Structure 1
Amino acid sequence: MSLLDQLRAMTVVVADTGDIEAIARYKPRDTTTNPSLLYKAAQMPQYKRIVDAAVSFAQSTEDDPKAQLEACMDKLAVGFGKEILQIVPGRVSTEVDARLSFDVEGTIAKARHLIDLYKAEGVDKDRILIKIASTWEGIRAAERLEKEGIHCNLTLLFSFPQAVACAEAGVTLISPFVGRILDWHLKDRGVKSIPPTEDPGVESVQRIYRYYKSHGYKTEVMGASFRNIGEIVELAGCDLLTISPDLLKELEATDETLVRKLSPKAEGESEPKISLDEKGFRWMLNEDAMATEKLADGIRKFAADIVSLEKLVSKMIGQPVGV
């Protein structure tokens, strides 16, 4: 059996792509998307009908140029999400604009709007995860949304205090970024590689997973942002892993025995349970240079991806770029 087949027996495999053909090829249970992935997919001729439908919707419902652009962006995300859900049996993650990462009310409003757009397309909210950055404000927004029955995927998660706060807020799922943690440590240590068994990103997810299981949190852990299949192998057994098509292909082509590394049955002595208020959260995050830098950098990059997609959409709806 391939590594991919064995992994599916112990972990929910999620496809990290907006390419519907790739999703159909690898048959994941869930899928995650983001503006960068949508930017690529929106330029593929096979998805022109989804783009055209979003443009038509925006032009028929809004007159103000800015409102028209926003309507098209939201409808495009939902259009791809709906298409993906016709292939996968589970859920799709749809991202809230990263520029709302420090805006509780703005995040909540956008999440509700996306859910309403899905509802209008006949998609139940239980099949949607609203993707929100793991800032203090993002976590507070997610806490309120979860109480409304809107499930959230807290992304850009690089540290233990972020994970603790998410679990205490009762969010559905977190996405710790394995590869970006590795990137920081490679640069910080001045080395070209770190073995997967010593990978700081892998170790971070392992710690979070064991903490959640030992204290009975229901929040799911979905490792994300992988740089190599070695990281994936070391997290076999994690609740979910979201994997790019290139790494899914490599896993499928590799025939080796896969050993389960994580199990819901907590092993060994567990860490004491902690509770974080805003001051404690911000202090612990501040004390982690890697997490502080990568969170800020991640928000900037996600925001830049949104701007790139907006420029593309502006051309599609016939607006001058920058409107």
Structure 2
Amino acid sequence: MTSKLDQLREITTVVADTGDIEAVARLKPVDCTTNPSIVLKALGTPMFADAIKEAVAWGKNQGGNPEAVSAVADRLAISVGAALVKLVPGRVSTEVDADLSFDTEASLAKARSIIAAYKDRGIERDRILIKLASTWEGIRAAEVLQKEGIDCNLTLLFSKAQAIACADAKVFLISPFVGRILDWYKKSTGKDYTAEEDPGVISVRDIYNYYKANDIKTIVMGASFRNAGEIEALAGCDRLTISPALLDELSKDEGKLERKLSPESRKPDAKVSVDEKTFRWMMNEDAMATEKLAEGIRAFAKDLTTLRTMVQKELQLAAA
């Protein structure tokens, strides 16, 4: 019997949610996703010591001002992404700064600069996904970028309202979260959930069905898993981005994996569109989605601030 991971690879594109170079080389995912938390963790390993020195030296030559701090932080995120690109045959997701989540124009400028920075390293846009928070402003930025041929990954997605707006914008890929939805409901209800009852699993299944029922081409990539049971409950989803620990767990399990999702099993679900007013009202009515979106942006912004603080200290030492 093959492992559940190998069985999953037959029906779902497996993506690694990590900046751990050793784990990516060992587990051989098709794509990799990163975020500020993952980038910060990766930069804390010896593997990126030289990248930090290079970026700080580059920043020192830029004058070491506040703009240089942000630019060095960006350069380090690109260094992590570039290292991952060498290991996967597909794409690497690099995130636009979380503190730009409510600024469409600034998000556009940052996204274009990320693509340009990768190109400077010989990495074309077809190897990169620009990762944006699924705010109204982030979705609008993605809509523009898609028209420019820059594919996007819309993250921190907790609701069907966000998924519908992303579909309307014709984004390349969405990352509906599972585990963080489960966290909210467990805290709210005090109840434990089986994989079939899991509100995060149910949310992704509903979004997947809506997309397939309406022939929407946007890729559904389940994300943010708390246990292997959630992954198994979404077997057959277009893509799943999974932490190395859970990938290892699945690789050691030789039980049978049952396919849970497929385009052929879709059920009718009338297509709708959402304008800004409808989107904001639907989010307002969904306490879980509103709270988890805000919480996720704050957490990523905090790690981005930590990275920038580290850069600032390194630049000061270099200038001393």
TM tier, smaller: over 0.9
Q: Is the 8 A contact 1:36 1:309 kept in 2?
A: no
Take 1:248 and 1:309, find their aligned partners in 2: how far apart are those partners?
A: 27
- 1:58-77 alignment, distance < 5 Å: 58-60=59-61, 62-77=62-77
Tell me the secondary structure at the aligned position of residue 237 of structure 2: coil
Q: Which residue of 2 aligns with 1:43?
A: 44
Q: Is the 8 A contact 2:64 2:315 kept in 1?
A: no
**Offset at 1:316?**
2.4
Q: Which residue of 2 aligns with 1:110?
A: 110
Give the percent of matched residue pairs that are identical in Structure 1 and Structure 2. Answer: 59
The AA in structure 2 aligned to 1:199 is D
Q: Which residue of 2 aligns with 1:242?
A: 241
Tell me the secondary structure at the aligned position of residue 256 of structure 1: coil
Q: Deviations over 1:83-136 (max 9, x none)?
A: 111110000000111000000000000000000000000001011001100000
The AA in structure 1 aligned to 2:198 is D
The 3 A distance-change label for structure 1 pair 236 and 103 is: same
The AA in structure 2 aligned to 1:92 is V
Tell me the secondary structure at the aligned position of residue 107 of structure 1: helix
Q: Which residue of 1 aligns with 2:13?
A: 12
Q: Which residue of 2 aligns with 1:272?
A: 270
Q: Which residue of 1 aligns with 2:260?
A: 261
Q: Is the 8 A contact 1:65 1:319 kept in 2?
A: no
Q: Deviations over 1:142-191 (max 9, x none)?
A: 00011001111000000000000001101000001100000000011112
Q: Deviations over 1:194-233 (max 9, x none)?
A: 1001100000000000110110111000100000000000
**Offset at 1:139?**
0.2
Q: Which residue of 2 aligns with 1:57?
A: 58
Is 32-41 or 221-230 further displaced after alignment? 32-41
Unaligned runs of 5+ in 2: none
Unaligned runs of 5+ in 1: none
Take 2:217 and 2:60, find their aligned partners in 1: how far apart are those partners?
A: 42
Structure 1 ranges of 4+ moved more than 3 A: none
Superposition TM-score, scaled by structure 1 size: 0.96
**Offset at 1:266?**
4.2
The AA in structure 2 aligned to 1:36 is S
Aligned length: 317
Take 1:18 and 1:158, find their aligned partners in 2: how far apart are those partners?
A: 23
Q: Which residue of 2 aligns with 1:317?
A: 315
**Offset at 1:318?**
2.4
Q: Is the 8 A contact 1:213 1:266 kept in 2?
A: no
Q: Is the 8 A contact 1:57 1:75 kept in 2?
A: no
Take 2:308 and 2:161, find their aligned partners in 1: how far apart are those partners?
A: 33
Q: CA RMSD in A?
A: 1.2
The AA in structure 1 aligned to 2:184 is W
